Structure 1
């Protein structure tokens, strides 16, 4: 059991943790959540002793081993396999001693301990962890210095998991992972035998792995039982209760104040009025539940272009002419397409994104772009490389050269940069703010095609939800590379698998793909093809699976379309009430034009709902049969 007792931490004159307390259950899996900048990493650094609290204490069971990834990634000529094995320091020391020990009694003790800690099975366990995180056999044997920083951090994570500490502390462990490695990590953590405290903004990880949510807000901690979804329900209930109590108290305050005002001057009631005035003075106000303003994203709408926006015809792309990364690319992108690229890191997702962003030229075949197409391309490098000495206003002014100041301010305002935040130096911005600024810069000219490569790494849960809503309201096409499957499931209506040196449409749903990655619902050995008399059954099974995949895809596409249209209808409803407050493409339209669009979108929504109902009924019938 790990106990946080009344911890206070001040950094740079600012109080980060203010009397924070919580008791974490032994063997529990706890998700530590909070808005960006709330102090989550500060709390973890205090637990591991990297920061000394200004007040309070951390109580950790004696002899409990804490595990936390160091900020510096491993490097040198060691291989990932060697680095992971070395993480078990006891095993490493015992093996070294067994090679030099001459005392037979001590040597017996050493071998007995090696057997007790299952030391001889360790290489196989290390290899399994590395494979799960994306390292094939050849990669496990390369020197660490041959890898990028992201892959080195995967090695650091693998080493930490291999060391199996009693208390495992993880800070955004999926940030350097692709979807496939994230799914493996979730499965690993579900079965982790020790206590887990993980900082994460991944809704799926928090729903799949954890059994408690530790919420950090305004320097205080609150522990909720259950997953993230149950935390949201509980918090909403508490907020409603607090608001009802506050409203009731406010009504009492007004009633007392009214009595005092009416009766203080009259001698017959002055004493009662004085008594009520004292009661009013002693009444401690109930604070409203703190709810940070929702993070808003508002992508500017592009002008219409006729389809297709982009066509790839047997294209090849790469970085050296004699060795293309991808070949035989056949892909068409139309306006309002929502495409998610699937596949392990290193298979070519970013290469394909760069080809579509016109950063790479095709080596073979043809790539055709609509003549007037504008493309916005977001990557993590843009977030990390924002000039430190500039402000959002200065960066946007340079990017929108020749545009009036009002247009510059308007684009910044779409992403939450107004007032002082527009003139704050970029070095003072949080990771989430830097990501929003990068998105504001790449969408400044209202792109027809928006390519997003891991857009959620620096965003908290609420900001991710806001980004999902903005993407569903966006009227251009979207290409998405993300390990956040919650975002993929809510925004993408087409899946493209990048694997085996090419890219092709994936006919299944995200659920099918997750099952495939995790090896679930795969044919059993006795069901595998091989016997001649199995052919009819195999063919029937294949047809049934294809039918199921097609129906699931129809349901998903209809749901995505319904969400997008409902978002548009909400904006149109608001514009009908107050046309002057309309935003985006509705700004400046008359009430008649807004009403016309409202009728059109309402009809499209009804059509989408009918399509969803038909597909859902068909899916239930197939699954039930």
Structure 2
């Protein structure tokens, strides 16, 4: 059992954790959540002993083996396979001893222990973990120094999982993973034999892996049973109860204050007034469980352009002359498209995104773009390259050179940078705030096409939900690369699989793709998985697939047109109702119109609204089908 008893942590004179307590049973799977900056990583460091609390204590059973990824990624000439095997220090020590031991009794004990810890199956287990995290056989044999920082962190994660500690502590383990590796990790953690504490903003992981949510807010921690969806329901119920209690207390306080004010000066009631004044002083305020200040994402909508925005015809793209990474690319992007790119890291998703963004040129074939097309391209590098000494206002002023200060402030305000936030140094902003600033910068010109490459890495769960809503309100086209499948499912209506040097439409849902990646519900060996690419050929007939997507796009356009017509007529009906309620202040179109004429027009508009609603509903159902 892991017991957190009244711990308080202060950093730089600020209280991060305030008398927090919780008890976690052995074998529990805990999701540690909270807004960015709430102190989740600080609490994790207290658990591993890196930070000593100012007050309170953390207790756990003796000889508990803890596992936590160090901040520095492994490096050197050792291979990923060798690094992972070396993580089991007991196995390595016993194997070394077995080579030199001359005492028969001791040697017998060594071999008995090696069998007990499955030492001889360890190489196969290490290879399976590395494969799950994206390392093929060739990559497992390359030196660590040949990999990027993100891949080295995968090796560190693989080493930690391989060592199987009794208490496994993970801080945002999916940040360096693609969707496929994230799915594998979730499946692995679901059957992990020890106690698990994971900091994550992945809603699906928190729903599918953990059985307890530990919510950190305002320095306090609260336990909730179940996954993330269950936590949200329970938090909403508690918030409603707290709001009701606060309203009742506020009413009681107002009543007491009124009595004291009216009766303090009267001798006959002075004692009663003093008694109520003391009651007021002792009354502890009930704090309503108000949500944290909402994060703001508001993408400016672009001017209309005729489709298509971009067409690729048998295009190839790469970095070295004559060595294309992707070939025979055929893709059409229309103004209302929402496309998610699927495929493991290294297969070319970012390469395709850079081609569409105009950062790479097609080696062969053709790429045609609309003449007035504006593109906003977001990558993690833009977040990391923001000058820490500059403010959001200075960054945006430079980016919007020639624009008025009001226009600059307005764009910042769309993303929550108003008041003092606009003049705060970037170095003082959280990771989520920097990501918002980068998004504000790339959308300053109201792009027709928004390309987002892993936009959620620095965002907490609430911020991700705000981003989903903003994307669904945005009227331009979206190309999305993300390991957050919740975001993909809610925003994308087309899936493209980038694999084997080609990019093909994936004719299936995200659930189909998840089953395919995890090897679930797979057909017989001679029948490819639904929507999967086999070599360079699409599984489904290309013409039929493109026809299906084209039909859906056309329906989507009709739905959007119906929505605009419905909104227009509904607004006109609202103005007419206002004119009927107060003819003297009637809006311009209805000023001076006779009451009987307005009544007749209202009947016509009401019938038109009913018809447009029916048309919109029928089109929406057809598109969904």
TM-score, length basis structure 2: 0.88
**1:241-260 → structure 2 map (5 Å cutoff):** 241-260=241-260
**2:618 aligned to 610, 614, 619, which one?**
610
In the alignment, which residue of structure 1 is the partner of 2:455?
455
CA distance in 1, matches of 2:332, 2:545: 25
| CA contact 1:568–1:601 (8 Å) conserved in 2 | no
In the alignment, which residue of structure 2 is the partner of 1:475?
475
CA distance in 1, matches of 2:107, 2:62: 28
CA gap 1:613/1:287 in 2 versus in 1, 3 angstroms: same
| CA contact 2:336–2:557 (8 Å) conserved in 1 | no
Secondary structure of 2:224's aligned partner = strand
Cα displacement (A) at 1:401: 0.7
In the alignment, which residue of structure 1 is the partner of 2:238?
238
CA distance in 2, matches of 1:109, 1:350: 53
Confirm whether residue 96 of structure 1 aligns to residue 72 of structure 2. no
Secondary structure of 1:135's aligned partner = coil
In the alignment, which residue of structure 2 is the partner of 1:465?
465
Cα displacement (A) at 1:273: 3.1
Cα displacement (A) at 1:51: 1.1
| CA contact 1:472–1:563 (8 Å) conserved in 2 | no
Confirm whether residue 125 of structure 1 aligns to residue 125 of structure 2. yes
CA gap 1:186/1:276 in 2 versus in 1, 3 angstroms: same
CA distance in 2, matches of 1:188, 1:614: 39
Cα displacement (A) at 1:201: 0.4
In the alignment, which residue of structure 2 is the partner of 1:392?
392
Secondary structure of 2:175's aligned partner = helix
**1:295-310 → structure 2 map (5 Å cutoff):** 295-310=295-310
Cα displacement (A) at 1:338: 0.5
Cα displacement (A) at 1:604: 7.4
In the alignment, which residue of structure 2 is the partner of 1:155?
155
| CA contact 1:377–1:442 (8 Å) conserved in 2 | yes
In the alignment, which residue of structure 2 is the partner of 1:517?
517
CA gap 1:556/1:359 in 2 versus in 1, 3 angstroms: closer
CA distance in 2, matches of 1:217, 1:575: 45
| CA contact 1:554–1:612 (8 Å) conserved in 2 | no
CA distance in 2, matches of 1:426, 1:88: 41
Secondary structure of 1:243's aligned partner = helix
CA offsets 1:200-255 (integer angstroms, 9 cap, x no match): 00001100100000000011111110010000000110010011011011111122
CA distance in 2, matches of 1:473, 1:60: 48
Unaligned 5+ segments in structure 2 are 529-538, 576-586, 590-601
CA offsets 1:286-311 (integer angstroms, 9 cap, x no match): 11214211111001111111111000
CA gap 1:552/1:285 in 2 versus in 1, 3 angstroms: farther
**1:31-110 → structure 2 map (5 Å cutoff):** 31-110=31-110
Secondary structure of 2:174's aligned partner = helix
| CA contact 2:177–2:483 (8 Å) conserved in 1 | yes
CA offsets 1:472-514 (integer angstroms, 9 cap, x no match): 1111110000000000000001111101101011111111111
| CA contact 2:337–2:553 (8 Å) conserved in 1 | no
| CA contact 2:556–2:623 (8 Å) conserved in 1 | no
In the alignment, which residue of structure 2 is the partner of 1:174?
174
In the alignment, which residue of structure 2 is the partner of 1:274?
274
CA offsets 1:301-331 (integer angstroms, 9 cap, x no match): 1111111100000000001122100000000
Cα displacement (A) at 1:274: 3.2
Cα displacement (A) at 1:613: 4.1
**1:199-598 → structure 2 map (5 Å cutoff):** 199-524=199-524, 528=526
CA distance in 1, matches of 2:387, 2:210: 38
CA distance in 2, matches of 1:272, 1:225: 46
Cα displacement (A) at 1:576: 11
Cα displacement (A) at 1:336: 1.8
CA gap 1:97/1:489 in 2 versus in 1, 3 angstroms: same
Cα displacement (A) at 1:52: 1.5
Unaligned 5+ segments in structure 1 are 531-541, 579-589, 619-625
| CA contact 2:570–2:609 (8 Å) conserved in 1 | no
Number of positions where the alignment pairs a residue of Structure 1 with one of Structure 2: 587
In the alignment, which residue of structure 1 is the partner of 2:8?
8
Secondary structure of 2:64's aligned partner = coil
Runs of 4+ deviating beyond 6 Å: 546-578, 598-605
Cα displacement (A) at 1:612: 4.8
Cα displacement (A) at 1:268: 3.9
**1:183-194 → structure 2 map (5 Å cutoff):** 183-194=183-194
| CA contact 2:562–2:615 (8 Å) conserved in 1 | no
In the alignment, which residue of structure 2 is the partner of 1:140?
140
| CA contact 2:505–2:545 (8 Å) conserved in 1 | no
Secondary structure of 1:287's aligned partner = coil
In the alignment, which residue of structure 2 is the partner of 1:537?
none
